[in-house]
């Protein structure tokens, strides 16, 4: 064998899927944050560490684990679908969010699956429905971790624009009509919609558009069963404006809608639990996949979540979060108002909930990772998420480069104004360079 | 629309993978157990509820959550790969299991990924390596949840026989030579091996065969990089016999082996944590997939696992489990000796660890779910896992039907002898039917 020792060994024979899968851009952002510990991080989609329910979880775990039989149940396996009393409680919880009685919902606790964060639900639904080349309709911009997942599954993401009322649902109708004309309707499986305080824009889908989107899907139901996947991760972080019912609550037959929620945003990411209500036949397929993935999410975490819902600490904690994040939302909007130049076509969203503000700069300003501004901001001690990550290319392969996602989630309240001030300095310098007739480069 | 109301709606357009995925037989077994609460359950692969570390976890969570900064870290997100200090501890732990210093291992803590149980590692490695039609070599019988996962991924499972020394590795060499002759070597990606106290047989791969299997894979390394996936879920539940080094520890370049371990068997399934050491390039691909699946397993559970390893409660608990399961292993072997007829070619394994005994009946006795014995046993108040689930069909599509997997994991110590007595009654009646010349059916 020594004569062959110098011969290069063959590469690892990865699957087609693995070769297709791209790195999530989030890895790069986390690395940048770690390399620059002094940075004011307006990029991280993390929740505020200061408002995590440490004392509540201490009391809850004490209660669970001081009772031997309950403690043993929490440390044993449970089922693939998730802890039954938790799912019952979640069913009641969703009803309360909708302002309905549990029996008024079109689904029961048997249609709820508990997952490892809501991300796993997004993945499993994709796994159950999507073959390579199948179509998912989403807004442009959209939640970039999900579109990365769809890329890995080799699904085709077709996007429609969005405005202050959320996804342009008439554009969805037109797109579906066009696809039907092209004979591609059978490939359309899902419409993905972050209907509450969207990641990345902070905007919500209006009530009128919710109704209309469901109507569009229903009008096609004899030709193709298209499911609306409503990702409501930020739903409970509502600071002002009306509560809105989900599309799921408008689907009495539980046939056309999927509603995903999570404990990560309104309670604690460390439990890594999400939950999703979905049609019966989809649930069956999702559970078969989950049986292969892990046959059930962490059971101790499910017992903690259940107890938090039972003893009222969940609701109390959401109220604490709302007060804290509302103040931070107000602070970031005030800082933008104060520091950001207003005379050059710069706009930003005014979210009623969630963790994000979406900043739009003049088209000439390039916020992408490769452009100078990103590094300039990092060297000024502030980081944002380049808006480019949140877009799918249009027919000409173009991606808007003039947006930033700003998060007020993790950042310390006192750092919001300085962070926006630093950002504004870099933006202002950029505008000077762009617009100054003296500039010769 | 009312004129169309009666028209049947089209079915849910599931993915090819979802349509291919079969229900895990475990669902049926769990249902049967739930419908028959008085049953002595020798089927469940669950750990003993009486030995779960409730007090230890109470003390550990108290310690973590009474420290605000540590509590906050545990309730926040961590990384996709898993908590760094936990992975460092796991690296030391694996070294200790091997009887080596950590620096003597061919991998570092950077090559360890923490997953949602070791099942997720099995799934992710498959996802990263296997295209439909790719080949995985396994023993017959094998762990049936994994072979179900491979079926869902559309991989081809080619099996070799096993005996008291585990998988027949010379048969692996012959199979690989045959596949190479047929030009199919590029499709061979993995050799799956439950090397310690196998599920379902309780048997281990001998040291000589471990070395030989690695040698076989190394001899092919210039033509095809084949990885040995060593599933060591039961490794720490060793009741007697020598400690054996893993194949991973014999792979100094960390190129040809994957070693999966878990907290579910030696500590608590409710944490739902597994961990796997793997080659660098595979890890990269696995993390990209995990980034899409869930971007990290439950962080609170990881903090608990870390603390259990740090404060010594993990090691103490393993010692408790070994004493308890050893007694149950002795009890099941004694009961088999006492009650099972020995004059009709009935044999069983004598495991040195793990949770299973594998019972072989005469070929004429059919233990499968459809045959009468299964229901007969249930009506006598005892349940086993039909051996058929653990086999892949041979070239002629045949599956042995004369085995039972008996687990002494979950069952109460006092129920082991009555359970085996009931089982033996049904078996004895079956033998009488089979062999009695008076019987006329």
Choose among A75, A78, A271: nearest Cβ to B52. Answer: A75
> Between helices B313-339 and B54-65, what is the axis angle to 10°?
160
pLDDT of residue A396: 86
B76 touches chain A (CB under 8 A): yes
Burial of A211 (0-12, 13-18, 19+ CB in 10 A): middle
Matching residue, tokens 């027919």: A395
Q: Which one of A10, A12, A215, A321 would you mutate to disrupt binding with B, by most B Cβ within 10 Å of its Cβ?
A: A12
Do A129 and B13 count as a contact with CB atoms less than 8 A apart?
A: yes
What does the pLDDT look like over B182-214, one tens digit per residue? 999 999 999 999 999 999 999 999 999 999 999
Matching residue, tokens 């895990």: B24
Choose among A7, A24, A72: nearest Cβ to B49. Answer: A72
Matching residue, tokens 């916020």: A367
pLDDT of residue A441: 42
The alpha carbon torsion through A406, A408, A412, A416 (nearest 10 deg) reads 60
Beta bridge partners of A358: A405
**Nearest chain B alpha carbon to A55:** B65
Cβ neighbours for A396, distance < 8 A, ≥ 6 positions apart: none
Beta bridge partners of A277: A112, A259
Phi, psi of B34 (to 5 degrees): -70, -35
d(CA B399, CA B141): 10
Q: How far apart are the first and last CA of chain B?
A: 60
d(CA A216, nearest CA chain B) in Å: 13
Helix (H) or strand (E) holding B65: helix B54-65
A264 touches chain B (CB under 8 A): yes
Task: Give ∠ CA B367-B371-B374 in degrees, rounded to 5.
Answer: 60
What does the pLDDT look like over A163-200, one tens digit per residue? 999 999 999 999 999 999 999 999 999 999 999 999 99
d(CA B351, CA B162): 14
d(CA B395, nearest CA chain A) in Å: 26
Instruction: Answer positive or negative: Cα dihedral of B416, B419, B423, B428.
Output: positive
Do A57 and B71 count as a contact with CB atoms less than 8 A apart?
A: yes
- Judged against a pLDDT cut of 50, whether residue B1 lies above it is answered with no
Which chain A residues in 296-315 lie under 8 Å from chain B, judged by CB atoms?
296-301, 303-304
Instruction: Quickly list H helices, A105-251.
Output: 117-129, 144-152, 169-181, 207-219
Q: Chain A to chain B, count of Cβ pairs less than 8 Å apart?
A: 297
Least Cα distance to A4 among B156, B185, B219 occurs for B219
- Judged against a pLDDT cut of 80, whether residue B439 lies above it is answered with no
Strand order in the sheet with B356-360: B347-348, B356-360, B403-407, B385-386
d(CA A313, CA A56): 7
Confidence of residue B261 (pLDDT cuts 50, 70, 90): very high
pLDDT of residue B44: 87
What does the pLDDT look like over B73-130, one tens digit per residue? 999 999 999 999 999 999 999 999 999 999 999 999 999 999 999 999 999 999 999 9
What does the pLDDT look like over B138-193, one tens digit per residue? 999 999 999 999 999 999 999 999 999 999 999 999 999 999 999 999 999 999 99
Beta bridge partners of B193: B230
A132 touches chain B (CB under 8 A): no
pLDDT of residue A2: 45
Q: Give how far the C-alpha of residue A247 lies from the chain's centroid of Cα atoms, to the nearest Å.
A: 17
Do A57 and B47 count as a contact with CB atoms less than 8 A apart?
A: no
d(CA A111, CA A259): 11
Cis status, amide bond into A141, omega within 30 of 0: yes
Stretch A60-84: mean pLDDT, rounded?
A: 96
Please state, for a pLDDT cut of 90, what percent of chain A lies above it: 86
Q: Which two tokens stand for residue A424?
A: 């504004």
pLDDT of residue A62: 98
In chain B, residues with a C-beta closer than 8 Å to the C-beta of A22 are 288
d(CA B268, CA B264): 5
Please state, for a pLDDT cut of 70, what percent of chain A lies above it: 97
d(CA B303, CA A52): 15
What does the pLDDT look like over A258-269, one tens digit per residue? 999 999 999 999
d(CA A345, nearest CA chain B) in Å: 36
Q: Over the range A46-60, which residues count as b (16 or more CB within 10 Å of their CB) and which as e?
A: bbbbebbbbebbbbb
In chain B, residues with a C-beta closer than 8 Å to the C-beta of A285 are 12, 14, 18, 21
Q: Over the range B124-139, which residues count as b (16 or more CB within 10 Å of their CB) and which as e?
A: bbbbbbbbeebbbbbb
d(CA B45, CA A296): 15
In chain A, residues with a C-beta closer than 8 Å to the C-beta of B146 are none
Of A151-155, A174-178, B424-428, B432-436, the one with minimum mean pLDDT is: B432-436
B309 with B271: CB under 8 angstroms?
no
d(CA B201, CA B353): 11
Q: Which two tokens stand for residue A437?
A: 């007739």
Q: Is B406 helix (H, G, I), strand (E, B) or coil?
A: strand
Least Cα distance to A89 among A261, A282, A321, A306 occurs for A306
Do A75 and B61 count as a contact with CB atoms less than 8 A apart?
A: no
What does the pLDDT look like over A378-422, one tens digit per residue? 999 999 999 999 999 988 889 999 999 999 999 999 999 999 999
Which chain A residues in 268-297 lie under 8 Å from chain B, judged by CB atoms?
268-273, 279, 281-282, 285, 288-289, 291-297
**Nearest chain A alpha carbon to B82:** A270
B220 touches chain A (CB under 8 A): no
Question: Count of residues for chain B?
Answer: 441
Phi, psi of B329 (to 5 degrees): -60, -45
A328 touches chain B (CB under 8 A): no
In chain A, residues with a C-beta closer than 8 Å to the C-beta of B13 are 129, 186, 189, 224-225
**Nearest chain A alpha carbon to B14:** A129
B434 touches chain A (CB under 8 A): no
Do B301 and A303 count as a contact with CB atoms less than 8 A apart?
A: no
Choose among A9, A52, A66: nearest Cβ to B58. Answer: A66
B193 with B231: CB under 8 angstroms?
yes
Of A223-237, B33-47, B407-421, the one with minimum mean pLDDT is: B33-47
Do A71 and B77 count as a contact with CB atoms less than 8 A apart?
A: no
In chain A, residues with a C-beta closer than 8 Å to the C-beta of B15 are 127-131, 134
Q: Which two tokens stand for residue A61?
A: 């775990």
């Amino acid at each position: 064998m020594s004569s062959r020792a110098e011969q290069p060994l063959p590469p690892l024979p990865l699957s087609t899927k693995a070769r297709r899968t791209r790195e999530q851009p989030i890895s790069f952002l986390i690395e940048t944050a770690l390399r620059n510990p002094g940075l004011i991080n307006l990029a991280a989609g993390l929740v505020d560490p200061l408002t995590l329910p440490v004392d509540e979880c201490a009391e809850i775990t004490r209660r669970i684990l001081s009772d031997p039989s309950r403690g043993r149940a929490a440390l044993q396996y449970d089922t693939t679908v998730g802890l039954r009393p938790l799912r019952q409680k979640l069913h009641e919880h969703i009803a309360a969010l909708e302002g309905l009685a549990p029996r008024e919902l079109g689904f029961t606790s048997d249609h709820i699956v508990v997952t490892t964060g809501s991300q796993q639900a997004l993945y499993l639904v994709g796994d159950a429905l999507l073959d390579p080349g199948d179509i998912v309709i989403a807004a442009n911009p959209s939640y970039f971790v999900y579109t990365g997942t769809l890329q890995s599954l080799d699904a085709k993401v077709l996007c429609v624009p969005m405005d202050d009322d959320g996804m342009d649902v008439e554009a969805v109708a037109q797109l579906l009509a066009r696809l039907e004309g092209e004979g591609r309707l059978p490939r359309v499986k899902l419409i993905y919609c972050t209907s509450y305080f969207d990641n990345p824009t902070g905007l919500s889908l209006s009530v009128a558009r919710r109704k209309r989107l469901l109507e569009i899907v229903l009008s096609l139901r004899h030709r193709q069963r298209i499911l609306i996947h409503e990702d409501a991760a930020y739903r409970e972080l509502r600071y002002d404006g009306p509560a809105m019912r989900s599309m799921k609550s408008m689907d009495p037959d539980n046939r056309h809608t999927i509603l995903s929620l999570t404990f990560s945003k309104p309670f604690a990411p460390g439990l890594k639990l999400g939950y999703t209500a979905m049609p019966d036949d989809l649930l069956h397929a999702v559970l078969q996949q989950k049986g292969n993935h892990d046959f059930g999410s962490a059971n101790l975490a499910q017992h903690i979540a259940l107890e938090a819902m039972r003893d009222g600490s969940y609701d109390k904690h959401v109220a604490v979060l709302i007060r804290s994040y509302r103040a931070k939302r107000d602070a970031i909007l005030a800082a933008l108002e104060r520091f950001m130049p207003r005379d050059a076509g710069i706009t930003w969203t005014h979210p009623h909930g969630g963790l994000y503000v979406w900043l739009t700069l003049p088209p000439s300003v390039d916020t992408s990772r490769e452009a100078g501004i990103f590094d300039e901001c990092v060297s000024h001690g502030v980081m944002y998420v380049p808006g480019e990550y949140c877009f799918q290319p249009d027919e000409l392969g173009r991606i808007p480069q003039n947006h930033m996602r700003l998060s007020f989630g993790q950042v310390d309240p006192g750092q919001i104004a300085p962070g926006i001030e630093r950002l504004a300095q870099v933006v202002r310098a950029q505008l000077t360079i762009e617009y100054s007739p003296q500039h010769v480069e």
